């Protein structure tokens, strides 16, 4: 009998692990009563928006599949026949919104490529100039937000290492840690209200990709967080699985309560 305990941490993204909306609308700076330069925050937010959209379009097919949002990458895997895509021309395959099996297969191919790019990391996609710009923007943002981004990363690492206190080690690829010493497994899962492809790009840009695997990124954009929580409970549930959710909004709180998942209220950035 397998008595291994599995602990699944279900995270909200925006305004919990990363900051973007509150930078763009100035609410983050407002919370500091004049101690933060609000315009600088807006400019930082706009730079992130630009990078997220550019990388989504240039490397992750977002311009082609923006209107084909799915709740997670592997949802189309049944349509993938495993074709070798090394010489495949994604600009000439006639892809259109996938209402038939052929286009569903074409979408599945794109999802497979996206998954591989996510696993391989941005250093295999971006040139050195873009890597330097990204690194500088990350450091600028972390400094402006008093270490919000690096603290979020540290918290994800602590949860993977077995620290069960999700209130703001070593990094382990894939966002899953198994401990022979404790007989437990720790998994980070992300449920975001944003569309899937930009959310995956955010994970890469905000350096969360080695803490949350692509299989564990869910978009509630079309289906709602209640449905995402249901899928996650079904996927991981067993007698020895424990769940907790961490976020700042009512929707993830409601979804957690509906599925009897412990919920930890993160501190909203605008407070």
pLDDT tens digits for range 147-193: 999 999 999 999 998 765 554 433 344 555 444 445 689 999 999 99
Place of tokens 């969360």: 208
Q: How confident is the model at residue 30 (pLDDT cuts 50, 70, 90)?
A: very high
Q: Is 271 among the domain residues? A: no
The binding site for Mg(2+) consists of 12, 14, 248
Q: Is 85 among the domain residues? A: yes
Q: Which domain CATH number covers 219? A: 3.40.50.12350
Identity of the highest mean pLDDT range in 90-104, 128-142, 254-268: 128-142
Query: What is residue 157's three-state secondary structure?
Result: helix
Residue 12 bears catalytic tag: yes
Q: Which domain holds residue 197?
A: 5-265
Residues in Cβ contact with 256 at an 8 Å cutoff, skipping those fewer than 6 apart: 10, 229, 245, 262, 263
Q: Is the pLDDT of residue 237 over 90?
A: no
- Tokens representing residue 125 in the block: 């996609």
- At 256, phi and psi to the nearest 5? -65, -45
Count of the separate structural domains present in the chain:
1
Contact 56, 197 (CB under 8 A): yes
Q: How confident is the model at residue 208 (pLDDT cuts 50, 70, 90)?
A: very high
Q: Is 270 among the domain residues? A: no
Through-space distance between the first and last CA atoms of the chain, rounded to whole angstroms: 47
Query: With DSSP H G I counted as helix, E B as strand and the rest as coil, what are the percentages for the chain, rounded to 5?
Result: 50, 15, 40
Which of 14, 80, 142, 209 is labelled catalytic?
14
* Span 201-219, average pLDDT: 98
Q: What is the pLDDT of residues 106-118, one digit of tens each?
A: 999 999 999 999 9
Query: What is residue 131's three-state secondary structure?
Result: helix
The binding site consists of 12, 14, 248
Rounded to whole angstroms, how far apart are CA atoms 237 and 241?
A: 6
Q: Is 125 among the domain residues? A: yes
Q: Is 208 among the domain residues? A: yes
Residue 142 bears catalytic tag: no
Which of 255, 270, 178 has the alpha carbon at shortest distance from 11? 255
- 23's enclosing H/E stretch is helix 21-24
């Amino acid at each position: 009998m397998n008595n291994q305990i599995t602990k699944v941490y279900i995270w909200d993204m925006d305004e919990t692990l990363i900051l973007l909306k509150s930078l763009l609308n100035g609410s983050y700076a407002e919370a500091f009563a004049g101690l933060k330069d609000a315009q600088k925050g807006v400019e930082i937010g706009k730079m992130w928006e630009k990078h997220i959209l550019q990388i989504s379009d240039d490397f992750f097919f977002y311009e082609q599949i923006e209107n084909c949002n799915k709740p997670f990458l592997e949802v189309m895997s049944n349509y993938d026949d495993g074709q070798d895509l090394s010489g495949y021309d994604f600009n000439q395959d006639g892809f259109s919104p996938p209402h038939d099996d052929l286009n569903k297969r074409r979408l599945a191919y794109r999802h497979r490529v996206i998954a591989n790019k996510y696993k391989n990391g941005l250093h295999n996609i971006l040139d050195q100039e873009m890597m330097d710009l990204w690194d500088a923007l990350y450091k600028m943002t972390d400094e402006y937000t008093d270490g919000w981004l690096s603290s979020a990363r540290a918290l994800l690492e602590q949860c993977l290492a077995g620290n069960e206190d999700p209130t703001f080690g070593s990094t382990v690829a894939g966002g899953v840690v198994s401990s022979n010493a404790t007989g437990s497994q720790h998994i980070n899962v992300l449920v975001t209200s944003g569309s899937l492809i930009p959310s995956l790009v955010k994970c890469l840009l905000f350096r969360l990709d080695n803490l949350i695997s692509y299989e564990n990124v869910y978009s509630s954009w079309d289906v709602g967080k209640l449905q995402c929580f249901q899928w996650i409970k079904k996927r991981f549930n067993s007698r020895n699985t424990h769940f907790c959710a961490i976020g700042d909004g009512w929707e993830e709180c409601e979804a957690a309560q509906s599925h009897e998942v412990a919920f930890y209220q993160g501190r909203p950035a605008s407070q």
